[in-house]
Amino acid sequence: MSIAVTILGNSSAKPTASGHPSAQVVNVNEQYFLVDAGEGVQRQMARCGVSPLKLRAVFISHLHGDHFFGLFPLLSTLGLYGRRTALKVYAPRPFGEMLDGFLRLCESDLPYQIEWVEVDTTKHQIIFENDTTEVWSLPLRHRIPTAGYLFRQKEPALNVKKFSIERYGLTVQQIVQAKRGEDVVLPSGEVLANADITYRPYGALSYAYCSDTNYSARLAKMVEGVDMLYHETTYSADMRKTAKERGHSTTADAAKVAQMAGVGRLIIGHFSSRYKDLEALQAECREIFPATDIARERETFLIEPKATKQ
C-alpha cells in the first residue's frame, strides 16, 4: 500500500544531451498513472521497466510541449500493443482539439478508446476517484492554464483490536458494527466507544506534483501535510526576477512552499538547461528545507506506510 514515483524526465523545455523533459510514473497501490509526457517518455518507460500497457490514466499539467509532446507517440504504441481498455487523459483545454485531430488524421482505427477529461485549472477538486485512491487538481500559476495533481490514498477500513475482541468477548455482529465505525453496546449496557476498540492498519499516503508554477502560498495550503511534494525549481535562488516573469519557481520558492506546507519530503525538478551542477540547487533548497532531494531520471522515490498503533 505504498506510493512510488519514478522520474522519467527532470528537465525544462530546452533539450540537453542527457536530460528528458517532464514525465513521471506514479504508482498508487499498484495502479500506474502517467503524469506529464514530455518527449522521449516511451523510451524512458522502457528503460525503467514500466510497461505502458499498465497505465490506468494519464494526467497532463498543461499544454507546453515539454509536458506532452511525448504523449501522441505513446498513444499510437498502445494501439500497436493491442490495448483494448479505454484510457482516460486528464488535461486542460484545448487538449480535446489536438486529440480529435490526432484520431482523425493519424490514428483512425486505434483498437481502444481515448477519453479526454477536461481539467478545470482554476479549481482544487477531486477529478479521479475509486475505492482506494483520489486525485485532486491543484491550480498552478503559470503562463497558460496549468494544474498540478495531488494523489491521495483513501483511509483504509477500520480493524478491530484483537485485545478488545478477547477482553469483551465481541461477537461477529459486534465486530462488523465496529468496523462500520459504530460504538458497540455490551449486554451489560456498557458502551464501547468506537475509537477505543478500532484502529487503521496503516496511514493513508499522499503525493503532490507541482510543475510549472510561480511561487504560490495558496498552493502551500492545498498541499499541506503531504508525504512527498514534487515542486519545480527551474532556477537558482538568484534568478528570482526571471522565474517570476516566466511563470516558474526558484529553489527558494520551492523550499518555502515545502516548509509552509509541512510536507514530509521535497523532490525538485524541471531544471533549466543552464545548470550542470544540480547539487548546488539542492543545497539552496536544503538551507530552507533540509529534506530535499533531486529528481534524478530513472530514480524511484518510495513513500511507505507509517506504522499505526493497535
Dist. CA 176–CA 197, nearest whole Å: 12
Q: How far apart are CA 40 and CA 213, in angstroms?
A: 23
Q: Kindly state the smallest distance separating residue 211's Cβ from Zn ion, in Å.
A: 6
Distance CA 76, CA 81 (A): 9
- Residue 16 CB burial class (10 angstroms; 0-12, 13-18, ≥19): middle
Active-site annotation holds for 227: no
Residue 212 interacts with Zn ion (CB under 5 A): yes or no: yes
Binding mask 83-112 for Zn ion (x = CB under 5 A): ------------------------------
Q: Find the part of the chain contacting Zn ion (CB under 5 A) among 1-9, 195-203, 211-219, 300-308.
A: 211-219
Instruction: Quickly list H helices, 159-203.
Output: 162-168, 172-179, 194-197
Least distance between Zn ion and beta carbon 83 (Å): 28
Residue 64 in the binding site for Zn ion (CB under 5 A): yes
- 36 in contact with Zn ion (CB under 5 A): no
Collapsing DSSP states into helix, strand and coil, what is residue 104? helix
Residue 39 engages Zn ion in binding (rule: CB under 5 A): no
Min dist CB 305 to Zn ion, Å, is 32
Give the number of residues written for the chain. 310
* Residue placing its CB nearer to Zn ion in the complex, 212 or 227: 212
C-alpha cell at 243: 522565474
Please name the amino acid found at residue 97: E
Among residues 36, 66, 227, 253, the one annotated as catalytic is 66
Q: Which is nearer to Zn ion, 153 or 215 (CB)?
A: 215
Confirm or reject binding of residue 66 to Zn ion (CB under 5 A): yes
Distance CA 295, CA 303 (A): 14
Closest CB 247 distance from Zn ion, rounded Å: 7
What is the contact surface with Zn ion in residues (CB under 5 A)?
64, 66, 212
Which residues have a catalytic role annotated?
66
